[in-house]
Chains A and B, each alone.
Chain A
Amino acid sequence: MAAKTRRYSARDVTILVIGLGVAIIVNVGLIWGPTLASIGLSGTDWNGIKPMEWVGGRNYGDLVNDYPPFWSAIRNNVLWLGFLGLVATPFGLFCAVLLDRRLRLSRVYQSALYTPVVLSLAVVGFIAQLVYSSDYGVLNAVTGLTVDWLGDRSINIWVVMVAAAWRHVGYVMIIYLAGLKAVDPALKEAAAIDGANEAQAFFRVVFPTLRPVNVIVLVITVIEALRAFDIVYAINKGRNGLELLSVLVTENIVGEASRIGFGSAIAVILLVITLGFIVTYLSQLFREER
Chain B
Amino acid sequence: MTLIAPTATPPVQDRREPVRRRARPLRILLHAFLGLVALGWVLPLALALYASLRPYEETSRLGYFSLPEHLTLDYYGQAWSQADLPRYYLNTLIIVIPGVLITLFMASFTAFAIARLRIPGRKALLITFTAGNLLPPQVLITPLYTLYTLVPLPSWLSDSQSLYDSYLGLILVHVAFQFGFCVFVMSNFMRTIPEEITEAALVDGAGVWRRYWQLTLPLCRPVLAALATLEFTFMYNDFLWALVLMSSGDKLPVTSALNNLRGQFFTDYNLLAAGSMLVALPTLIVFQMLHKQFVAGLTLGATKG
Contacts and interface: CB of A to CB of B under 8 A. Distances in A.
Interface stretch (A19-27, A64-72, A78-86, A152-160): A19-27
A35 B129 contact: no
B244 A30 contact: no
Interface string A253-290: 11000001001100110110010001001100110100
A166 B106 CA distance: 34
A87 interface: no
A278 B135 contact: yes
Contacts of B273: 126-127, 130
Nearest to B147: A34
B73 interface: no
A118 B244 contact: no
Determine chain A's interface SS by DSSP, over half rule. helix
Determine chain B's interface SS by DSSP, over half rule. helix
Contacts, number: 297
Contacts of A1: 118, 120
Given A123-B276, A171-B298, A7 B202 contact: yes
A53 interface: no
B272 A227 contact: no
Contacts of A267: 138-142
B108 to A, nearest CB: 10
Contact of B173 (A30, A99, A182): A30
B287 A26 contact: no
A270 B207 contact: no
Contact of B143 (A98, A179, A264, A270): A264
Interface string B166-189: 000000110111011001000000
Interface stretch (A55-63, A103-111, A201-209): A103-111
B22 to A, nearest CB: 13
B243 A254 contact: yes
Interface in B118-137: 118-120, 123, 125, 127-132, 134-137
B57 to A, nearest CB: 12
Contact of A141 (B63, B120, B144): B63
Given A115-B45, A120-B239, A278 B64 contact: no
A95 B36 CA distance: 12
A87 to B, nearest CB: 14
Given A19-B113, A234-B259, A286-B127, A26 B284 contact: no
A26 B168 CA distance: 13
A30 B143 CA distance: 9
A254 B145 CA distance: 10
B302 A213 contact: yes
A249 B132 CA distance: 18
Contacts of A126: 48, 258, 272-273, 275-276
B51 interface: yes
A227 B48 CA distance: 25
B143 A118 contact: no
Interface in A159-215: 166, 169-171, 174-175, 178-179, 182, 212-213, 215
B138 A270 contact: yes
A111 B303 CA distance: 20
B86 interface: no
Given A130-B47, A142-B65, A213-B302, A118 B294 contact: yes
A15 B301 CA distance: 28
A27 B129 contact: yes
Contacts of A11: 207-209
Given A138-B65, A274-B135, A16 B208 contact: yes
A250 B301 contact: no
Given A112-B42, A118-B287, A30 B135 contact: no
Contacts of B81: none
Nearest to A247: B138
Contact of A109 (B34, B59, B280): B34
19 contacts: A15-B208, A20-B113, A27-B176, A27-B180, A30-B140, A35-B135, A112-B42, A115-B41, A118-B294, A120-B280, A121-B239, A137-B63, A138-B65, A175-B302, A178-B302, A216-B302, A229-B239, A230-B239, A245-B138
**8 A-B pairs with the lowest CB-CB distances in the bound complex, closest first:** A120-B237, A37-B143, A112-B38, A178-B299, A141-B65, A34-B140, A30-B176, A34-B143
